[in-house]
Amino acid sequence: MTAAAVSGALRSNGDRLWQSLIEMAEIGATSEGGSHRLALTNEDNAALELFERWARAERCHVSRDRLGNCFAERPGLDPARPAVLVGSHLDTQPGGGRFDGPLGTLAALEVVRTLNEHEIRTIAPVIAVSWTNEEGARFPLPCTGSGVFAGVVGYEQAMSQRAYDGPTFAAELERLGRAGVNDMGEREFAAYFELHIEQGPILESTGNVIGVVARGQGLRGIAVKLTGREAHTGTTPMESRRDALVGAAEVVAAVRRLAMTRKGALGTVSRLEVSPGSRAVIPGRAELLVDIRHPDLEVLDELETEVRHEIETIAAAAELEVEIETFLRIEPVVFNRSCVSVIEDVARRLGCSAMEVVSGAGHDAFYLATRMPAAMVFIACRDGISHSPLEYSEPEHVRAGCDVLLHAVLEKAGVSEDSR
Ligand code: HGY
Ligand code: MN
Ligand code: MN
């Protein structure tokens, strides 16, 4: 391990990373100052191609797997040593921000750039990665790419999922020529690290620069279809109606009420589609997406059971047919203690104020943690806002987060004695 790396004197180039974030944000930029780069759209593809150009300029071996996940490998001295994986995603929410995803993906690239600039040779290979469809905004399954890579999400399930705007995941991969042939299925990895904005208020409100993410809360995605009877709004007596939207409104209120009965639980109906949506027609169909979360698996399961039962009860009382499908289960995650400790130690060594946090948002690292030792580094975001054009993190926090990521990677990858 070189003196620079050990003493913590080594630093990434925060200005270069910030500049890369600005350039990346130009792809899919919105007039509100955010990012609109839905998974497997032309914008998402352009973002990945920019990442790949930058990675090739760093002499990385760039490849993709069959999900379109992109791997930029910087060789280590010992190619047989399990690699250290580091990255995040480039796709965004419809009205997303400029940091959620790109921060971690471009910080991984900055790690590579810094190692090249200082001619530091790691023992193990270091691979910067960009995962496909983390957000689950266009295609229902969040963390599709990392989920299949980790062996948690089935390949067919991933490929057959249909975008809310129509095409299947497989068709869009094909249209973009996005898939590759690098099958990492059998490869062993030493660790996975991901830098991400907290997307919540804790770090900012406590004045901590670094969040050491030891755990992540679990979540359920529940799709609900309510079917009533379309009829004339001007002639149908109130007591004989089967109004799907009235049922949906009760479901929205029930999800909120049930979540508030449990400390730490979160419940949201985040998507509602009503048809036919004509003024003089009583809504015959309503489709809802329910998102519930809790750090404790037992409480999360209880809440899911209760929500499903309440939806059945509401549908029966409103004489509506109902279909309920839990299409998404991401279990609460406990990150690898050794990786968490490395982040804690590095943050202390670099003089960053830090605290242990539980991630409220889901991340690719949750799935990666089922296949290899993994942990995350958080930095604050202004007012805790994310999934919004208002998303913002301070340049000095971006720099600090990248430096912690850099040294965590070096700890796990090892550094050769002959590095400068
Ligand atoms: O669902 C999530 O929490 C992530 O932000 N996609
Ligand atoms: Mn994210
Ligand atoms: Mn997100």
The pLDDT score that the predictor gives to residue 417 is 77
Residue nearest to atom 1 of ligand 1 (CA): 362
Quote the CA–CA distance of 227 and 315 in Å, as a whole number.
9
Percent of the chain with pLDDT over 70: 98
CB atoms within 10 A of CB 342: 23
Percent of the chain with pLDDT over 90: 96
Q: Looking at ligand 1, which atom is closest to the CA of residue 293? A: 3
Residue nearest to atom 4 of ligand 1 (CA): 362
Q: Looking at ligand 1, which atom is closest to the CA of residue 136? A: 6
CA distances from 213 to 262, 374, 409 (A): 23, 10, 16
pLDDT for 173-209, tens place per residue?
999 999 999 999 889 999 999 999 999 999 999 999 9
C-alpha 197 – ligand 1 centre gap (Å) = 12
The pLDDT score that the predictor gives to residue 308 is 98
Query: Looking at the CA of 221, which ligand is closest?
Result: 1
- Determine which helix (DSSP H) or strand (DSSP E) holds 334, and give its type and residue range: strand 333-334
Whether the Cβ atoms of residue 44 and residue 98 lie closer than 8 Å to each other: no
> Residue 128 corresponds to which tokens in the numbers above?
């910067």
pTM for this structure? 0.96
C-alpha 151 – ligand 2 centre gap (Å) = 20
Residue nearest to atom 2 of ligand 1 (CA): 362
Residue nearest to atom 6 of ligand 1 (CA): 135
- Determine which helix (DSSP H) or strand (DSSP E) holds 104, and give its type and residue range: helix 102-117
pLDDT band at residue 96 under the 50/70/90 scheme:
very high
Q: Looking at ligand 1, which atom is closest to the CA of residue 134? A: 6
pLDDT for 261-284, tens place per residue?
999 999 999 999 999 999 999 999
What are the strands, taking DSSP E only, across 228-284?
Answer: 266-275
The pLDDT score that the predictor gives to residue 5 is 57
The pLDDT score that the predictor gives to residue 165 is 96
State the chain's mean pLDDT as an integer: 96
Q: Rounded to the nearest 5°, which phi and psi values hold at 32?
A: -85, 0
For the cut 90, the answer to whether the pLDDT of residue 285 exceeds it is yes
C-alpha 142 – ligand 1 centre gap (Å) = 7
The pLDDT score that the predictor gives to residue 2 is 53
Unique residue bearing structure tokens 């202004």: 382
pLDDT band at residue 388 under the 50/70/90 scheme:
very high
3-class state of residue 343 by DSSP: helix
Give the sign of the dihedral formed by CA 70, CA 76, CA 79, CA 81. Answer: negative
CA distances from 3 to 227, 331, 386 (A): 67, 41, 38
The pLDDT score that the predictor gives to residue 89 is 98
Give the sign of the dihedral formed by CA 149, CA 153, CA 157, CA 163. Answer: negative
C-alpha 292 – ligand 3 centre gap (Å) = 16
pLDDT band at residue 54 under the 50/70/90 scheme:
very high
Q: Looking at ligand 1, which atom is closest to the CA of residue 386? A: 5
pLDDT for 238-265, tens place per residue?
999 999 999 999 999 999 999 999 999 9
C-alpha 143 – ligand 3 centre gap (Å) = 10
